[in-house]
Amino acid sequence: MAALALEAVMQAIADRLMEAQVVTHAFGYPTTGVDDGEATVGYPPDYTYGLPTGRALDAVVIPAWIIAGLAEEESTREVVADLLGDGPRSLKVALEGDLDGLVNALILRRTLIERVRFKDNLERTSVRADCEVWS
Amino acid sequence: MAKPIVCINPTCTITFGSTVVDISDHLRMVAPSTEVEIIDNRTFASPKQREFGNQTDDITLTLGWSPDLYTALAPYINTAGALVCKPRGAVSTAIRATVRYGAQPWGEIAHGTTSEVELPLIVDGDITYS
């Protein structure tokens, strides 16, 4: 039993998104260098300690943003639908599980569809996956 | 000892003869319970003596109702079936028991909500994990 290995877990989420070909590239840390079709993993807003002995069941919600494309492009709609669906690009299929034994469980209970403005002043649609993770 | 598990995509099936009724898509919660009576047999010579008596095992399933669920359950009322519940769907080990139910489950029906029902199961024998 151990505490959550936050650094490794954030990187594992990014790696999983690439392995499952959900995105072409994913950063395991928050960055503004992300582009269309890529992802960036953010820090959890808080950290909940679990059982008092052995640090089992520490819990966090780690957000991952997937940049689907330009907000007003029709093709972006298809990407968003694929991410939310249950096909090969499904976020839920790609992420849920135990990250090859790194965590007790990762469950994706909800995603948020957001508009973000990039440095080029154009708005993108991003899909934010809130990954609930237990150690 | 390994740490407590977090359930992921739990599954539940009940097999009646050669027919498998898979209720995983309807599953909200599986609640197994075991009660053991404590018998008070104190005497003057043994003033603190107590023993365990009869054991009663039950499982209550909480399910989202649908006409398909009704149809699937209808032929097997009061029929013994083999329940297999995997707390983590991708793992082969499961909670197992021989169970029966006495009636169709019914729940509240309201606009814009899922009708959630509880199906109490009598357990014949023990609840095991294997």
Length of chain A: 135
- Residue A121 makes CB contacts below 8 A (sequence gap 6+) with none
Q: What is the pLDDT of residue A1?
A: 52
Q: Model confidence over A4-48: pLDDT tens digits? A: 999 999 999 999 999 999 999 999 999 999 999 999 999 999 999
Q: What is the ipTM of this complex?
A: 0.77
- Cross-chain residue pair B90–A97, CB shorter than 8 Å: yes
**Cβ pair A57:B4 closer than 8 A:** yes
Give the DSSP H or E segment for A51: none
Give the pLDDT confidence of B29-58 residue by residue, as tens digits. Answer: 999 999 999 999 999 999 999 999 999 999
> If pLDDT is split at 50, 70 and 90, which confidence band does A54 have?
confident
- Nearest residue to B116 (alpha-carbon basis) of B105, B125, B127: B105
pLDDT value, residue A50: 87
- The answer, yes or no, to whether residue B66 has pLDDT greater than 80, is yes
Confidence of residue B92 (pLDDT cuts 50, 70, 90): confident
Q: Shortest Cα distance from B6 to chain A (angstroms)? A: 6
Question: Above pLDDT 70, what percent of chain A?
Answer: 99
Cα nearest neighbour of A105 on chain B = B6
